[in-house]
Chain A
Amino acid sequence: MRLRLVPQQTNFDFFSRPVLWLGISAVLILLALGSFGLRGLNYGIDFRGGTTIRTESAQPVDVGAYRDALAALELGDVVISEVFDPNFGPEQNVAMIRIGAQDGEEAVSTEVIEIAEAALLEISPDIKFVSVESVGPKVSGELIRTAAIAVALAIGAVLIYIWLRFEWQFALGAVVALVHDVILTIGIFSELQIRFDLAIIAALLTIVGYSLNDTVVVFDRVRENLIKYKSKDLKEVLNLSINETLSRTFMTSATTLLALIALLVLGGDVIRGFVFAMTWGVIVGTYSSIFVASVMLLRLGVKRDWSKPTDTTGNQFGDIDA
């Protein structure tokens, strides 16, 4: 007996309520943008400059005492948080201390780190500074720019690739789905105030890749079925294609999520934000390839006659191996 996530043959109607699906996505996007506008992202030092110190000591972390010790130094914006992780032993009490970039400093100031470490050593003599990272404001500005360019480039490159391999309607549908995924991910990061650093940008790009992977598989089937069933309604073809690939969609999402959840639980707190972004992205990406990309494709319509050489809308690469 085989394990099946999806019955052998399904016949769901995914397009009975296109307005509803697009509406849900639209509301979610508005919520995400609203959260981003109101709360903003909890940028890590990669993007706003400053210093983070990760401490470890045998005694429990007394956030209040840490705060008092550091407040006396007048370092400006200081955030202290205790870190919990199932991997930690009983003697492992970890805290993260973030000190904002010092006004008027272009570079990293070693003195700030030194006096902060000295102050902490005084209240907790066995404290160890297991990692200390500082980024000057000059670099952090550049990092934000590079990150934004990277995400835009990835989306642009994908738009062009799908346009070449399929048709512009497919490309647009896929890209709308991608933007949807990226916005929702940024939204959840601002809503939950999870630290947003360079690694999260990598996760965003991976989400772009994954969501696309999913969308392309559905689209590939749509292209095939459009040729096979020339007289069928576009809506029917889309429905058929999604149903046919549904089993694969769930299988791949399931294996990917299995792996990611293992990493989320056991992989340690250092990359938890990163893994969380990817996990969320896989869920959102799976949803969007069906309910956003395909619905968009239905809305945009698509050229039906694939047998003749292309005229205005397509191009010669359109059905290279169809």
Chain B
Amino acid sequence: MLQVDLWKRVLIWATVVVGLLLAMPNAFYSRVETHNDAVKAIEAGFDTSENRDLAAGWPSYLPSGLVNLGLDLRGGAHLLAEVQVQDVYEARMESLWPEVRDLLRDARDEVGTIRLQPNAPLGELRIKISEPAGMNRAIELVRTLAQPVVSLTGAGSTDLEVRGEDDVLVITLSEAERQALDDRTMQQSLEIIRRRIDEVGTREPTIQRQGFDRILIQVPGIGSAAELKEIIGTTAQLTFQPVVSRTSDSSERPGVGNELVPALDQEGVYYILEQAPVVTGEDLTNAQPAFDQNGRPAVNFSFNPSGARRFGDYTAQNIGSPFAIVLDDEVISAPVIQAHIAGGSGIITGNFTVEESTQLAVLLRAGALPAELVFLEERTIGPELGQDSIDAGKIATMVAFVAVLVFMALSYGLFGLFANVALILNIALIFGLLSMIGATLTLPGIAGIVLTVGMAVDANVLVFERIREELRTARGPARAIELGYEKALSAIVDANITTFITAVILYVMGSGPVRGFAVTLGFGILTSVFTAIFVTRLLIVIWFERRRPKTIEV
């Protein structure tokens, strides 16, 4: 009557053993962590005897997955940045202007003279032409500049929209192009942030796209959010722009299509530059710290072929005139072009220190962020606070655990002990699951585990109470136990599914620590149902088979 098939027994024990094995590394946290780091280092090519010794600290045949500690437990910095994707529209339009200008200039007979209108909305070029009759021709000409959009959704459309408003030619980016641009901007930003953080070499940073234009960055072990911002926040936007003139008047009007940019190391000196750059940092393929012929720190750089060609053409045509090397809206230097620079490499000199030139080379190599980042949220958690939280959480969990164990034993005697075995397994299984999927344990997550300790016994309580009831009416203990499990099942399932629904909603809607809570709560429900329905039942059945008691007390 009261029996469990052999295959079920094997399956239940196997699940328990696998769960325990997966959870085990967490009991030796620092040892396994060192092992994992060493293994990673060896894979990355640092196959030193020291690393091999460290890796040997944990047997390789055992699982080595660990529960990640969240920022609130380990300490570190968290940033939520919004990428100003519109910045790219502007840059795009700026670089389009010279092409449009040259094109329309060649057709002067039909469209007359052209003037770029200032104060156009972002991502729009407005060009006034003196011969409105030539508008159709102008539109036709500019349309030849349009390229098909390369993206899945925008297939078949072109990147530019050209229309005429009276005597003003209006060029905007098409919707499809904007979307494709946005996507590219986000991908680029993510990639660049990742590269910059990797240059610093911290453990397991999280860099994720969130929503449409946001990036979540979490770096454990870093001193502060401000430090993290410094690593990723510098845009290092490098451009080479033609110089129109030099001035000391900061309020001088630069004129349409030009801009006023201060010099980096000379107070009160400003340059008026053409807005459209000749080449930008995007065309850089390499940058290395170096020294110029006078032995001062400098940065060597080289361009990709298309950048090299444009740079070569420009220098060939403008020998004798100055051009400016602009970094983040400041002119680093404005040398006069001495000769045609072919081959696409050059050197940036300025009043650098060695550190500055090294830093600049790193930033240039990592590439410029395509758009500005605005930080919407920043959190710094000190490692001491994290450690305090872990310690407090450990003590609280132990006390909660012992209290519940004692309480169950007092309430249900031997059956209580069975439930307690299940409860201990339950916690181990939660850690096993968390380690398996590499989940992150947060402070609310610890609370979730403690809550699970309290609630996990519920399924067993339901069954035991039911057995008590059945004992009063049923024929014998075996029947009572069987009925107890049978009849309590629907309540257990319904009660846990409803709680599980809320855990899922928490996971989907929540973020960070709250998500950590949802994960432990959800796993706690799964493991507690498993241990209550299968493990305690199996324990009771095994006990029952051996003892064959005539009466039982629950």
Chain A positions near chain B (C-beta within 8 angstroms): 2-5, 8, 54, 56, 87, 106-108, 110, 113-114, 128-136, 138-139, 146-147, 149-150, 153-154, 157-158, 161-162, 165, 198-199, 201-202, 205-206, 208-210, 212-214, 216-217, 220-221, 224, 244-245, 247-248, 251-252, 254-260, 262-263, 265-268, 270-271, 274-275, 278, 321-322
Residues of A within 8 A of B450 (CB): 259-260, 262-263, 267
Q: Does B5 contact A (CB under 8 A)?
A: no
Report A-chain residues with C-beta under 8 Å of the C-beta of B455: 210, 213, 252, 255-256
Does B411 sit at the interface, judged by CB under 8 A?
A: yes
Give the nearest-CB partner of A113 in chain B: B226
Chain B: CB-nearest residue to A275: B447
B11 at the A interface (CB under 8 A): no
**Residues of B with C-beta under 8 A to A245:** 465
Contact between A135 and B377 (Cβ–Cβ < 8 Å)?
Answer: yes
Measured CB to CB, the closest approach of chain B to A43, in angstroms, equals 15
B483 at the interface (CB under 8 A from A): no
Contact of B453 among A106, A157, A259 (CB under 8 A): A259
Identify the closest chain A residue to B500 (Cβ): A209
Interface centre among A3, A56, A149, A162 (most CB of B within 10 A): A3
Main DSSP-derived SS at the A contact region? helix
B503 close to A (CB within 8 Å): yes
Q: A87-B392, A205-B506 are in contact. Are A258 and B499 (CB under 8 A)?
A: no
- In the complex, whether B197 has a CB less than 8 A from a CB of chain A is no
Q: List 29 A-B contacts (CB under 8 A).
A: A3-B410, A4-B411, A108-B375, A132-B225, A132-B380, A134-B225, A134-B377, A134-B378, A139-B376, A139-B377, A150-B509, A157-B505, A198-B514, A205-B506, A206-B506, A206-B517, A213-B458, A220-B490, A251-B465, A252-B455, A252-B461, A255-B457, A259-B400, A260-B400, A262-B397, A267-B393, A270-B72, A271-B389, A271-B444
Instruction: Given A130-B381, A260-B400, output 13 extra A-B contacts at Cβ < 8 Å.
Output: A110-B378, A130-B384, A132-B224, A147-B509, A157-B501, A158-B498, A201-B510, A210-B455, A244-B469, A248-B461, A255-B407, A258-B454, A263-B397
A270 touches B389 (CB 8 A): yes
Flag whether B222 is at the interface (Cβ < 8 A).
no
Of B404, B497, B499, B517, the residue contacting A259 (CB under 8 A) is B404
**What count of chain B residues pass the 8 Å CB interface test?**
77
Q: Judging by beta carbons under 8 Å apart, are A257 and B454 in contact?
A: yes
B412 touches A216 (CB 8 A): no
Q: Does B521 contact A (CB under 8 A)?
A: yes
A255-B457, A321-B490 given as contacts; is B502 within 8 A of A209 (CB)? Answer: yes
**B23 CB within 8 Å of chain A:** no
A267 x B502 contact (CB < 8 A): no
What are the 10 closest A-B residue pairs judged by CB atoms, nearest first? A259-B454, A256-B454, A268-B392, A150-B509, A259-B400, A262-B400, A209-B502, A209-B499, A130-B382, A3-B410
Partner of B447 from A134, A271, A321 at Cβ < 8 Å:
A271
Given the interface pairs A108-B377, A133-B378, the reply to whether A216 lies near B410 with Cβ below 8 Å is no
Residues on B with beta carbons closer than 8 Å to the beta carbon of A248: 461-462, 465
* Known contacts A157-B505, A221-B491; A213 and B444 CB within 8 A of each other: no
Residues of B within 8 A of A130 (CB): 381-382, 384-385
Q: For the complex formed, measure the closest distance between the CB of B256 and the CB atoms of chain A, giving whole angstroms.
A: 30
